[in-house]
Amino acid sequence: MSDTPPVPPRPGQPIPAPGLAMAMGDPAQVPGTKAYVEARFGRQATFVERILPSLLDSLLTLPVVLVPVLLGTWLVVAGSPDQVSCGSYDGTCTVPGTGNGALVAVGVLAMLLSVVLALAFELWNQAYRVSRTGQSLGRKICGLRVVNARTGELPTFGQALLKALVAGFAGLISAVWMLFDDEGRTLSDKVADAAVLRTR
Task: Give the pLDDT confidence of 70-96 residue by residue, as tens digits.
Answer: 988 888 888 887 776 776 566 676 667
Cα separation, 155 vs 8, in Å, equals 20
The Cα–Cα gap between 90 and 125 comes to 49
Alpha-carbon distance of 192 to 200, in angstroms, equals: 24
Residue 154 binned pLDDT confidence (cut-offs 50, 70, 90): very high
Query: Which pLDDT score, from 0 to 100, does residue 1 have?
Result: 44
Closest CA to 167 of 198, 153, 146, 150: 146
Find the range with the poorest average confidence among 37-41, 99-103, 130-134, 163-167. 99-103
Q: What is the pLDDT of residue 122?
A: 94
How many residues in total does the chain contain?
Answer: 200
Q: What is the DSSP string of 18-82?
A: HHHHHHTT-GGGSTTSHHHHHHHT-PBPPHHHHHHHHHHHHHHHHHHHHHHHHHHHHHHHHHSPP
Flag whether the pTM goes above 0.85: no
